Amino acid sequence: MVENRPLLTVLTHLVLIVGVIVVVFPVYLAFIASTHGSGDFMRGLVPLLPGPHLIENYGKMLTEGISTAGAPPLWIMLMNSLIIAIIIAVGKIAISLLSAYAIVFFKFPFRMVAFWIIFITLMLPVEVRIIPTFAVVANLGLLNSYVGLTLPLIASATATFLFRQFFLTVPDELMEAARVDGAGPIKFFRDILLPLSRTNIAALFVILFIYGWVQYLWPLLVTTDSRYYTVVMGIKRLAATADSEPQWNFVMAAVMLAMLPPVLVVIFMQRLFVKGLVETEK
């Protein structure tokens, strides 16, 4: 539409620039803080321009950590976060693909019951059933393990629904052609359905990777052994040193490192990210 309102155009960009500043500024400040020395946070105001200690701070956090705060070197926590996020994302996708496949491509007694049991998980976020779930995991001896960190988070109604929706849009004839071509249920799933679901799987992976990475309460509860700390919960320990002000330069170096992987995923896979987000939430 041809519309010539220069004032409105200026206003539009102004709004967007202010919006971007609001969104970016807290992180900018964190980045600046992570480049300074410990002594720079005593005076009245946080520094607003970069300091000279960037490599030193990040290097120390990655390789040594702060032992007084009970936090191991950051690279260990980053690895843990990566492992956990990948297990959660892959696990959720795998079991959701299978259950959606069963629900759409088979008829069997108790099909509706199964569907509703999966549906109910939507209504029970971990924050809500925290204590009894913790008790179950503790009784199973899964505290301080990758299994305990990931398995209880792996059921997914939204992923199952997404795949169900997608499977229903796959033409009936494709499955019929495959059956005529001699493919049984397993072969059809592997040779036809899975390759067709690629984009959906990738989009969902982006969302679920982020979901796994930002988990906080659950890792906080089930890990006491610092070998299993994730970076997100480790940061909280860094920031919460009891007696004094935290060492902001180190905390913020850790914050930057903890944010980087999922943020990069969003930025570089923006198309998949948007698809995943908008489609899972329908």
132 contributes a contact to another protein by CB under 8 A? yes
Those residues whose C-beta lies under 8 Å from the C-beta of residue 245, and which sit 6 or more positions away, are 41
Choose among 237, 236, 232, 234: nearest CA to 210.
Answer: 232
Exposed/middle/buried for residue 83 (C-beta within 10 Å: 0-12, 13-18, 19+): middle
Q: Which is nearer to another protein, 76 or 210 (CB)?
A: 210
Q: Which is nearer to another protein, 52 or 182 (CB)?
A: 182
62 contributes a contact to another protein by CB under 8 A? no
Q: Which stretch binds another protein (CB under 8 A): 15-23, 50-58, 65-73?
A: 15-23
- Give the count of beta carbons closer than 10 Å to the beta carbon of residue 8: 10
136 contributes a contact to another protein by CB under 8 A? yes
Task: Tell me how far apart the alpha carbons of residues 273 and 262 are, in angstroms, rounded to a whole number.
Answer: 11
Min dist CB 63 to another protein, Å, is 21
90 contributes a contact to another protein by CB under 8 A? no
Binding residues among 137-156 for another protein as defined by CB under 8 A: 137, 151-152, 154-156
Min dist CB 114 to another protein, Å, is 5
Selected binder of another protein within 112, 169, 242, 243 (CB under 8 A): 112
Contacts 24+ apart (CB under 8 A), 65-72: 66/238, 66/247, 66/250, 68/241, 69/237, 69/238, 69/240, 69/241, 70/226, 70/237, 71/226, 71/229, 71/234, 71/237, 71/238, 72/226, 72/227, 72/229, 72/234
Task: Tell me how far apart the alpha carbons of residues 84 and 146 are, in angstroms, rounded to a whole number.
Answer: 7
Binding residues among 22-51 for another protein as defined by CB under 8 A: 22-24, 26-27, 29-30, 33, 41, 43-46, 48
Q: Which stretch binds another protein (CB under 8 A): 54-62, 66-74, 96-104?
A: 96-104
Task: Tell me how far apart the alpha carbons of residues 126 and 153 are, in angstroms, rounded to a whole number.
Answer: 8
Min dist CB 38 to another protein, Å, is 13
Binding residues among 160-219 for another protein as defined by CB under 8 A: 160, 168, 171-185, 187-188, 191-192, 195-196, 198, 210, 213-217
235 contributes a contact to another protein by CB under 8 A? yes
122 contributes a contact to another protein by CB under 8 A? yes
